[in-house]
Amino acid sequence: MQQEVVGDPRGLRILDLGCGSGAKAVHWAHHGAAEVTGVDISGQFVPDPPGNVRLISGDLSDPGAIDQVRDRVYDRILFLQSLSYSTDQVHTLRCARDLLAPQGRIIVQRSHPVRFAVERAEANGTSLGEEYYSADPYQYASGWNPKVTLTRSTQTIADMLNAFAAAGLHIERAVEPQLTPEDRHRYPHKQRWLNKHLGVILFVLQAV
């Protein structure tokens, strides 16, 4: 689904903010992107990326303050499960908007807010509504290292939409991916999880 939302990467200049190891940045390069810049605060990247991939240790909260980023423009700016780590999402989105090339797009993928509401309601013995509207940060063990605890801000759908508007962005498209009928049959455990937690939601954003 990410590939479909990003579009044909051939010839594109892509900025992946919160890129993790940089594996996805390498993926875009292998599929024809002209250049890919990945930024992640961890600084733990895949070795020997292609020559048109730059992987930079930095904070996605203020992309315009990163030397290797600020003087460039990009056709796609990606926040794939990363925007919630920003210390000020509106500021981060405004900075990203200023880095867009004409006709460029910002892609935001987030866990569906209902997911964390369900998990917190079960853990706290509360209701879905109480946890959906709770403003408290949500902490949980990472899937890749049980010793690492992640903290995410929790937002309602309205919070997300209002942040986009405040940053001078409008939604071109929103997608809530579902498994294909074949994959539902092949991976019933994944479908059970999606039935309960609703998966992710993606937004394609343009500058107003």
| 23 and 122 fall within a common domain | no
| 21 and 86 fall within a common domain | yes
| 37 and 98 fall within a common domain | yes
What is the domain count for the chain?
2
pLDDT of residue 142: 58
Half-sphere exposure for 71 (CA within 13 Å, toward CB): 2
| 83 and 48 fall within a common domain | yes
Sign of the alpha-carbon torsion through 57, 23, 155, 95:
positive
DSSP state, residue 194 = H
Distance CA(89)–CA(93), nearest Å, equals: 6
| 46 and 123 fall within a common domain | no
| 107 and 128 fall within a common domain | no
pTM: 0.89
pLDDT of residue 146: 67
| 21 and 80 fall within a common domain | yes
Q: What is the pLDDT along the chain (208 residues), one digit of tens a residue?
A: 788 889 999 999 999 999 999 999 999 999 999 999 999 999 999 999 999 999 999 999 999 999 999 989 999 999 999 998 899 999 999 999 999 999 999 999 998 988 888 888 988 899 999 999 988 877 766 555 667 676 666 789 999 999 999 999 999 999 999 999 999 999 999 999 899 888 899 999 999 9
| 137 and 181 fall within a common domain | no
| 86 and 121 fall within a common domain | no
Domain range for residue 21? 2-111+155-207
| 57 and 132 fall within a common domain | no
| 173 and 82 fall within a common domain | yes
| 141 and 54 fall within a common domain | no
